[in-house]
Amino acid sequence: MSAAPAPAIEVSGVTVRYGDVLALDGATLDVAPGRICALLGTNGSGKSTLFKTILGLVAAERGRVRIHGGPTEAARRTGTIGYVPQSEQVDWAFPVRVADVVMMGRYGHMGIGRSPRRADRDAVARALERTGLSALAGRQIGALSGGQRKRAFVARGIAQGADVFLLDEPFAGVDKRSEATIVEVLRAMRDDGHTLLVSTHDLATVPDFCDDAVLLQRRVVAQGTPGEVLTPDRLMEAFGVAPAEARAGEGA
Ligand SMILES: Nc1ncnc2c1ncn2[C@@H]1O[C@H](COP(=O)(O)OP(=O)(O)OP(=O)(O)O)[C@@H](O)[C@H]1O
């Protein structure tokens, strides 16, 4: 009998503090390879901190993170982790074209000071195609819609050759049509075997496209299928909404 594969993302007992603020308090979760897992929680529940810890940008006071069974530093070095940041963290006035943003995913492959080669340009073209952005390759990043911007960062991760993707609120500020396009791209990535951890406040879409869900309140208070995690009691307790409101609040 072969052993089960290591989780793509394994977070064990992670505690993070910013000065006096306890942002994560022994958070523990696993995401199996080839799954889409929703990361749910109210404002300030520690979702972005969890992403930063997985990325190695914030140091944990206790606990550890493993990516495919190895240390997070190794995964960063090899470009295994792709990160799609919250929109507010990006300077959209920065004068770069969409193709340049996606090419940034290739920097680790090029080495410092080296210019893109054919393989890099091909990888960028493929990533743009996968995300439906080929026609916008030459456009300034700031001149894209919110949903297109998100897809540009997904394309950057694809060009990088990432296997594990962390997406911080990919649906914030995007309309229903863009949201549907992003969901389609994420599903296709999952079907190709990638692993995705997606933070979202859009509870209504979760059962639709996520295999698993995690509810975070500084620690993980529930993990399972979306149906197991998003129970009426938990919706009311964590978000102060009834299930019907979560559906009605779609896109709000
Ligand atoms: N750099 C920082 N310095 C001090 N406190 C911070 C810092 N970053 C986050 N915090 C605090 O840590 C806690 C967790 O914040 P975090 O951004 O991880 O939450 P979040 O779940 O991503 O929230 P949101 O849904 O609003 O994006 C909050 O209380 C926040 O105020």
Report how far apart, in Å, the C-alpha atoms of 52 and of each of 1, 90, 108, 143, 243 are: 36, 15, 19, 27, 30
Q: Distance from the CA of 124 to the center of ligand 1, in angstroms?
A: 33
Same domain, yes or no: 148 and 200? no
Q: Distance from the CA of 18 to the center of ligand 1, in angstroms?
A: 9
- Residue 30 domain-assigned (yes or no): yes
At 160-183, the pLDDT tens digits run 999 999 999 998 888 888 888 899
Same domain, yes or no: 1 and 66? yes
Q: HSE of 60 in the Cβ direction (CA atoms, 13 Å)?
A: 24
- What are the pocket residues of ligand 1 if the criterion is a CB atom closer than 6 Å to any ligand atom? 18, 21, 23, 41, 43-49
Distance CA 113, CA 177 (A): 39
Q: Distance from the CA of 167 to the center of ligand 1, in angstroms?
A: 16
Same domain, yes or no: 92 and 63? no
For residues 218-245, average pLDDT: 84
Ligand 1 pocket: which of 48, 58, 215 to mutate (most atoms <8 Å of CB)? 48
Same domain, yes or no: 56 and 119? no
Q: Which is higher by pLDDT, 82 or 13?
A: 13
The overall average pLDDT reported for the chain is 89
- Residue 190 domain-assigned (yes or no): no
Same domain, yes or no: 58 and 92? no
Per-residue pLDDT band for 247 (boundaries 50, 70, 90) equals low
Query: How many domains, the chain?
Result: 2
Say if residues 41 and 23 touch (Cβ distance below 8 Å).
no
Q: What does the pLDDT read at residue 250?
A: 45
Same domain, yes or no: 5 and 57? yes
For residues 109-128, average pLDDT: 86
- Residue 111 domain-assigned (yes or no): yes
Kindly report the protein residue whose alpha carbon is nearest to atom 26 of ligand 1.
43
Same domain, yes or no: 72 and 21? yes
- Residue 153 domain-assigned (yes or no): yes
Q: Distance from the CA of 20 to the center of ligand 1, in angstroms?
A: 12
Using CB atoms within 10 Å of the CB of residue 90, give its burial: 0 to 12 exposed, 13 to 18 middle, 19+ buried. Answer: middle
- Residue 49 domain-assigned (yes or no): yes
Q: What does the pLDDT read at residue 87?
A: 74
- Residue 188 domain-assigned (yes or no): no
Say if residues 127 and 155 touch (Cβ distance below 8 Å).
yes
pTM value is 0.90
Same domain, yes or no: 75 and 200? yes
- Residue 155 domain-assigned (yes or no): yes
Q: Distance from the CA of 81 to the center of ligand 1, in angstroms?
A: 21
Kindly report the protein residue whose alpha carbon is nearest to atom 27 of ligand 1.
43
Range of the domain at 133: 87-162
Same domain, yes or no: 36 and 18? yes
| Domain final residue, candidates 120, 138, 162 | 162
All residues at 6 or more sequence positions from 60 whose CB lies less than 8 Å from its CB, including other chains = 14, 15, 16, 24, 53
Same domain, yes or no: 57 and 25? yes
- Residue 95 domain-assigned (yes or no): yes
Same domain, yes or no: 127 and 104? yes
The CATH number covering residue 38 comes to 3.40.50.300
Same domain, yes or no: 103 and 146? yes
| Domain final residue, candidates 136, 162, 188 | 162
Tokens of 66: 């493993």
Kindly report the protein residue whose alpha carbon is nearest to atom 30 of ligand 1.
44
Using CB atoms within 10 Å of the CB of residue 236, give its burial: 0 to 12 exposed, 13 to 18 middle, 19+ buried. Answer: middle
